Amino acid sequence: MKFDTQTVHFQQEISASVRSKASPVYQTSAFVFKDLEEMEAAFQKTDHFYYTRVNNPNTQDLGQGVARLEGAPKGVATSSGLSAILAGVLSVAKGGDHIVASEDVYGGTYTLLSRELTAFGIDVSFVPFADLEQVKRAIRPNTVLLYSESITNPLLRVEQIEHIVQLAQSHQLKTMIDNTFATPYFIRPYEMGVDLVVHSATKFIGGHSDVTAGVLVGNEDVMASAKEKVVNFGSSLSPFEAWLACRGLKTLSVRMERQAKNAATLAEHLKRHPSVKRVYYPKGVSAKGNGAIVSMELADACDVASFFKSLSWIKIVPTLAGVDTSVSYPAGTSHRTLSADMRDRLGITSNLVRISVGIEDAEDIISAFDNALDAASAAES
């Protein structure tokens, strides 16, 4: 099957006697056995169902569905994107190990890696991955992992994945890429040699702003370790949220096609707007498009508060990727835990706005932003 077909037909058929067109929700904490022999057989199989914290048909559908789209052998669904990141990191790193991570990762990831991993005795260095020489110089004898994002949040730098993989392999290191912004519709890092690919399925995988979930995919050996971490940390995903994310995944292709087209149109328009100082939108991501996120820096003369107050039907949220267009304020949401100096160095200014472009009519999206930008400009004049 080709990609667009796989997004619709990825779920397993559990029972031949009950042939539902839509996959059912297995909203149960445990599964029933007729005797001890059958129960023991279930415990001996890694993909069998006996306790939902360990495995469930809905969560397995989501993990394996995303893995299939990424071209990876195995996938596991987790309670959030951050829990998927943690499971992935701890599947390859232990106390005394060192990780090199891109400095321009999502703020929540930065906090997880810089603050929480120290409790596990894992050291992390943050360097600009745009400069591979700096990445190379940051590698130590105890380094085990290179970590970055396929498209960074919120300034949308497109990672040099092939070069990162080559550098890692030359030093016998593992690689891990957060593919949330690109999705496997645009980029498939595993097929490019990346060992672990992670998604905040809360975003484009689910696609409808009604689920919080994560997915981690990779080869069978490393995923076996990651699955143990998910189970033992109790970070498994609930069946209903997995079911919602699977339902969203079925429309990934059609959503991303429309959202990327709208985003490209909006980005070109904003580049010509006098109230916009700079527009961030990737180039050359994929033949299918460049993603659905646009970031812009308002002109110095604009009043940011007036801009946000004048957005009409466009929602202000601390997240992204629903079918409806929304905006976020990175300095006050996704990257608020970074120091002011760090935000300034990365370019996350007080005038930066991140736009998650939806599936609405492009003219309506442009009109709404024009009105808000005009209001922001008028407030300072």
pLDDT of residue 179: 98
Note the pLDDT tens digit of each residue in 220-261.
999 999 999 999 999 999 999 999 999 999 999 999 999 999
pLDDT of residue 346: 86
The percent of residues above 70 in pLDDT, for the chain, comes to: 98
Q: What is the DSSP string of 30-95?
A: B---SSHHHHHHHHH-TT--SBTTT--HHHHHHHHHHHHHHT-SEEEEESSHHHHHHHHHHHH--T
pLDDT of residue 337: 81
pLDDT of residue 15: 64
Please state the rounded mean pLDDT for residues 328-349.
86
Structural Rg of the chain based on CA atoms: 21
Give, in order, the Cα–Cα distances in Å from 257 to each of 165, 233, 249.
28, 37, 14
Note the pLDDT tens digit of each residue in 270-281.
999 999 999 999
Note the pLDDT tens digit of each residue in 289-305.
999 999 999 999 999 99
Note the pLDDT tens digit of each residue in 163-217.
999 999 999 999 999 999 999 999 999 999 999 999 999 999 999 999 999 999 9
pLDDT of residue 194: 98
**Other C-beta atoms within 10 Å of 370: how many?**
14
In angstroms, rounded to a whole number, what is the distance separating the alpha carbons of residues 246 and 65? 8
pLDDT of residue 17: 66
For residue 140, the 8-state DSSP code is -
Mean pLDDT over the full length of the chain? 94
pLDDT of residue 271: 97
pLDDT of residue 53: 95
Least confident of 39-43, 161-165, 183-187, 359-363: 39-43
Enumerate the H helices of the chain as residue ranges: 3-6, 36-44, 57-70, 81-92, 107-111, 132-138, 161-170, 183-186, 220-233, 239-249, 252-271, 304-309, 340-346, 362-380
For residue 157, the 8-state DSSP code is P
Note the pLDDT tens digit of each residue in 141-154.
999 999 999 999 99
Q: In sequence order, what are the beta bridge partners of 356?
A: 293, 326
pLDDT of residue 310: 97
pLDDT of residue 343: 86
pTM of the model: 0.93
Note the pLDDT tens digit of each residue in 77-92.
999 999 999 999 999 9
Domains of the chain by start residue, with CATH: 3-11+22-249 (3.40.640.10), 252-380 (3.90.1150.10)
Kindly give, in sequence order, each residue whose CB lies less than 8 Å from that of residue 33, ignoring residues fewer than 6 positions away.
Answer: 39, 42, 50
**Is the bond preceding residue 274 a cis peptide, omega within 30 degrees?**
no
Please state the rounded mean pLDDT for residues 63-86.
98
Residue 64 has pLDDT above 80, yes or no: yes
pLDDT of residue 93: 98
Kindly give, in sequence order, each residue whose CB lies less than 8 Å from that of residue 194, ignoring residues fewer than 6 positions away.
Answer: 161, 164, 165, 175, 176, 177
Residue 16 has pLDDT above 70, yes or no: no
Residue 104 has pLDDT above 80, yes or no: yes
Contact 185/35 with Cβ under 8 angstroms?
no
pLDDT of residue 121: 96
